[in-house]
């Protein structure tokens, strides 16, 4: 079964939260934690990875918090997954490090490579801006 870890799932929710709720100001980790139901300590670990790949930046102090370093339409879902998981791998033999012990023309390997490529292309086509637009549409359809 293909599963993403909580690093990717929570990372996506955290980046979405910053994009959707910030008004040009840094967002504090406690606010993201409260809205998204993610423990603050775990968010700190996730943001370390996202900071390394320059998706988010941080500012210390009372008015500090995390902010996006790129526009929402420049941050793809794939970027966030790669920060949390590394490159998308369906099965070990499809990775650049993986060694297929079977014939290189193995039909099954072809299926896994195609699946990886299709998933990768889809995740690269979806941006945080797309998620924000979807959330806004849902909010408009279901006003509080």
CATH topology of domain 6-141: Arc Repressor Mutant, subunit A (1.10.10)
Cβ proximity of 95 and 127 under 8 Å = no
CA distance 2 to 19: 28
Instruction: State the pTM of this model.
Output: 0.86
Mean pLDDT over all residues of the chain?
88
Dist. CA 98–CA 90, nearest whole Å: 11
Residue 96 φ/ψ region, left for φ over 0, alpha for ψ in the -120 to 50 degree band, beta for the rest:
alpha
The stretch 2-22 carries a mean pLDDT of: 92
Each residue's pLDDT tens digit, 47-77: 999 999 999 999 998 888 999 999 999 999 9
Taking each helix axis from N to C end, the angle separating 77-85 and 107-125, rounded to the nearest 10 degrees, works out to 120
Domain ranges of the chain: 6-141
Question: Tens digits of per-residue pLDDT, 95-144?
Answer: 766 666 766 677 788 888 899 899 999 999 999 999 999 999 988 776 55
């Amino acid at each position: 079964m293909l599963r993403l870890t909580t690093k990717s799932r929570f990372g996506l929710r955290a980046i979405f939260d910053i994009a959707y709720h910030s008004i040009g100001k840094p967002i504090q980790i406690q606010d993201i934690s409260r809205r998204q139901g993610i423990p603050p300590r775990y968010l700190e670990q996730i943001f370390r990875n996202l900071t390394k790949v320059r998706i988010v930046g941080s500012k210390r102090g009372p008015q500090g918090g995390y902010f996006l370093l790129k526009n929402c339409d420049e941050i793809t879902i794939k970027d966030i997954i790669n920060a949390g998981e590394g490159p998308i791998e369906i099965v070990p033999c499809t990775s650049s490090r993986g060694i297929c012990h079977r014939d290189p023309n193995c039909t099954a390997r072809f299926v896994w490579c195609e699946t990886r490529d299709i998933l990768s292309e889809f995740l690269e086509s979806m941006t945080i801006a797309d998620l924000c637009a979807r959330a806004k549409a849902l909010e408009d359809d279901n006003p509080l």
